[in-house]
Amino acid sequence: MKDTISQNQPVIEAKGLNLVFQTADGPVQALKDVNLTVAKGDFVSFIGPSGCGKTTFLRAIAALEHPTSGTLTVNGMSPDEARRKRAYGYVFQAAGLYPWRTIRGNIKLPLEIMGFSKADQEERVQRVLELVELKGFGKKFPWQLSGGMQQRASIARALAFDADILLMDEPFGALDEIVRDRLNEEVLKLWARTGKTIGFVTHSIPEAVYLSTKIVVMSPRPGRITDVIDSPLPKERPLDIRDSREFIEIAHRVREGLRAGHHED
């Protein structure tokens, strides 16, 4: 019974969220009246042109930005509380591995800060390295790995402390198409295996459609949500699903949403 309650409770819930940045050129409305509910196990993509507030929203969930008004809860708590409960792992656009630490050392970083025991640290490092298929690379330094492998290591680092939510801010934006396809497949596998809730910022339509159960289309000035699409695609998604009719239809709807947002300014 208890399980169903927690199943039904939204993992991320935003109501009437506004966020205004004070800049030298005056206030900038980064988010305007954002309403969104994300359920447990959802894979949510945020897509839109730059300046639409998709990254700002993700950062607000992670308590890196603070909303000016409205409510935002993560696991029913404020984002700051959720951080203290280790509710989420964050993956940035650049892998951002410390060059002076080995891959193992980098994955240990959050564990050291959060005070996990030494034995527990080792065990977790091994487990997440296997999860992102980097087993045997623990002793390498970041520069010895390709860009795609570095980003996988940074995902492993975000997974190491068992957060329920994985927030990813254009994690594969700097990688080439082929590597990106492979990593997209791997992220889906990871998601299926771990059952995590994933928030994923991208500006690639195929990436958003391929990965998500829910696609949030946003548009700029002011940053707002223009469309939320619940994907009818099955959970099991081979790469060639991208040639299917349904896939093309969703992609079309996303494109229309993006274009509509653009017409308004």
Amino acid 73 reads T
Site string for another protein, 111-140 (x = CB under 8 A): -xxx--------------------------
Q: Does 187 bind another protein (CB under 8 A)?
A: no
- CA 218 remoteness from chain centre: 15
Q: Is 62 in the site for another protein (CB under 8 A)?
A: yes
> Which helix (H) or strand (E) is 215 found in, with range?
strand 214-219
Interatomic CA distance for residues 149 and 143, integer angstroms: 10
CB of 31 or CB of 225, closer to another protein: 31
Q: Is 143 in the site for another protein (CB under 8 A)?
A: yes
Q: Which is nearer to another protein, 48 or 79 (CB)?
A: 79
Sign of CA dihedral 171, 229, 38, 65: positive
Q: Which amino acid is at 238?
A: P
Measured CA angle at 12 (ends 42, 205), to 5 deg: 50
Asked whether position 89 contacts another protein by CB under 8 A, the answer is: yes
Contact (CB, 8 A) for 79 and 63: yes
Instruction: Indicate whether 74 belongs to the interface with another protein (CB under 8 A).
Output: no
> Counting contacts by CB under 8 A, is residue 110 touching another protein?
yes
Residue 90 touching another protein (CB under 8 A): yes
Tell me if 235 contacts another protein by CB under 8 A: no
CA–CA separation, 217 vs 219, rounded Å?
A: 7
Binding site for another protein (CB under 8 A): 59, 62-64, 83-84, 86, 88-90, 92-94, 96, 98-102, 109-110, 112-114, 141-143
